[in-house]
Amino acid sequence: MKIAKVVSLMLCIMLTALPLFSQAAEEKPQEIVFAGWAGEEANSRPIIDEMIDTWNAKDTGYTAKWVGWPWDKTFEQLIIRTEGGEALDVLQVGFSWALAMDEMDGVLELSDVFDKQWLEENFEESALSAGMIDGELKALPWTLASIGTLYNPTILEAAGVTKIPQTTAEFESALAKIKAYDPSLIAYGFCTKGTTLTADFLPWLWTFGGAVFDEAGNVTIDSAEAVKALTWLKSLADKGYIQMDMDRFDLRTIYARKQVAFYHDAIMAEGIAATNGVPENELASTIQPMLLPVLKAGDAPQSSLWGHLLQISRNTADKQQAADFIKHIVGEEMSLKYFAKTGMLPVIKKAMANPMVQNDEWSSKWVEITKYGKMSELNAYAQADELTKIIAEELQAALISSKTPAVAMKDAKTRIEGAIR
Amino acid sequence: MFDSRPIGFKIFFIVFFVILAIFVFFPLYWMFNTSLKQAADIFDYRFIPRNITLGNFVDVVTNTKVPLFMKNSLIVAGSSCILATFISAYAGYSFSKFKYRGRRLLMLLFLSAQLFPYAILLLTIYQIINFAGLRDSYLSLVLAYITFTLPIGTLTLKNYFDQIPNSIIESGKIDGAGTLRIMHSLIFPISLPGLAVIAIYSFIWAWNDVLYSLTLITSSEKRTLAPGLILTYFGEFQSSWNSMMTAAILVSIPVAVIFILSQKMFIQGLTSGAVKG
Hey, what domains does chain A have and what are their CATH numbers?
29-145+306-374 (3.40.190.10), 146-304+377-420 (3.40.190.10)
Q: How far apart are CA B145 and CA A39, in angstroms?
A: 28
Q: Which residues of chain B neighbour A271 with C-beta distances below 8 Å?
A: 237
DSSP A295-345: SSTTSPPPEEEEEEEEEEBTT-S-HHHHHHHHHHHHSHHHHHHHHHHH-PP
CATH number of B58-276: 1.20.1090.10, 1.10.3720.10, 3.30.420.40, 3.40.190.10? 1.10.3720.10
The whole-angstrom separation of Cα A418 and Cα A401 is 24
For residue A159, the cross-strand partners are none
- E strand or H helix at B226, and its extent? helix B225-233
Record: contact B43-A250, CB cut-off 8 A: yes
Domain spans of chain B, in order of start: 7-53, 58-276
First and final CA of chain A: distance in angstroms?
54
Burial (CB count <10 Å: 0-12, 13-18, 19+), residue A157: exposed
Can you tell me the distance from the alpha carbon of A98 to that of A130, in angstroms, rounded to the nearest whole number? Answer: 10
The CA angle A254-A257-A258, to the nearest 5 degrees, is 95
For residue A80, the chain B residue with the least C-alpha distance is B123
What is the rounded average pLDDT of the residues B103-112? 86
* Cβ contact A254–B43 (<8 Å): yes
For residue range B51-91, list pLDDT tens digits in order.
899 999 999 988 889 999 999 999 999 999 999 999 999 99
Which residue, A227, A345, A367, is CA-closest to A289? A367
Who's near B179: CB < 8 A, 6+ residues apart? none
The DSSP bridge partners found for residue A31 are: A63
Question: 3-class SS at B272?
Answer: helix
Is-contact B141 B80, C-beta < 8 A? yes
| Closest chain A residue to the Cα of B123, Cα to Cα | A80
Report chain B residues whose CB lies below 8 A from the CB of A266.
237
User: Chain A partners of B238 at a C-beta cutoff of 8 Å?
Assistant: 41-43, 272, 275
Residue A22: its pLDDT value, please?
A: 47
Tell how strand A303-312 and strand A373-374 pair up: parallel
Mean of pLDDT over chain B: 87
Give pLDDT, residue A8.
53
Residue B239, classed as helix, strand or coil, is strand
Residues in chain B closer than 8 A to A104 (CB atoms): none
CB A324 within 8 A of CB A114: no
The distance of A43 to chain B (nearest Cα, Å) reads 9
A115 phi and psi angles, rounded to 5 deg: -75, 150
A22 contacts on B by Cβ (under 8 Å): 131-133
Q: Whole-angstrom Cα distance, residue A173 to residue A186?
A: 15
Measured in whole angstroms, the distance separating CA A273 from the mean position of its chain's CA atoms is 18
Which pLDDT score, from 0 to 100, does residue B148 have?
87
Surface-to-core class of residue B65, CB atoms within 10 Å of its CB (0-12 exposed, 13-18 middle, 19+ buried): middle
Using an 8 Å Cβ cutoff, are B233 and B64 in contact?
A: no
Element (H, E) at A151: strand A140-151
Report how far apart the first and last C-alpha atoms of chain B are (Å, whole number): 32
Contact across the interface for B230 and A70, Cβ inside 8 Å: yes
Position with higher pLDDT, B266 vs A210: A210
pLDDT at A20: 47
Which parts of chain A register pLDDT below 70? 1-29
Looking at the complex, report in whole angstroms how far the Cα of residue B261 sits from the nearest Cα belonging to chain A.
35
Would you state the torsion angle of the CA atoms of residues A76, A78, A80, A81, taken in this order, to the nearest 10 degrees?
160
User: CB A41 to CB B236 under 8 A?
Assistant: yes
Residue B42: list chain A partners with CB under 8 A. Answer: 253
Who has greater pLDDT, A59 or B223?
A: B223
**In this complex, do A69 and B214 lie within 8 Å of one another by their Cβ atoms?**
yes
Q: What is the pLDDT of residue B269?
A: 47
Nearest to residue A110, comparing CAs of A413, A330, A292?
A330
Helix, coil or strand: residue B62: helix
| CB pair distance less than 8 Å for B38 and A277 | yes
Identify the CA nearest to A71 among candidates B234, B66, B136, B65. B234
B133 vs A contacts (CB less than 8 Å): 18, 21-25
Contacts across the A-B interface (CB distance below 8 Å): 92
CA distance B193 to B146: 20
Q: Do A80 and B126 touch (CB under 8 A)?
A: yes
- Give A222 to chain B, closest Cα distance, Å: 31
Q: Tell me: the pLDDT tens digits for B137-176?
A: 999 999 999 988 999 999 999 988 998 999 999 999 998 9
- Among the residues of A59-182, which ranges form H helices? 71-83, 95-103, 116-122, 125-129, 153-158, 168-181
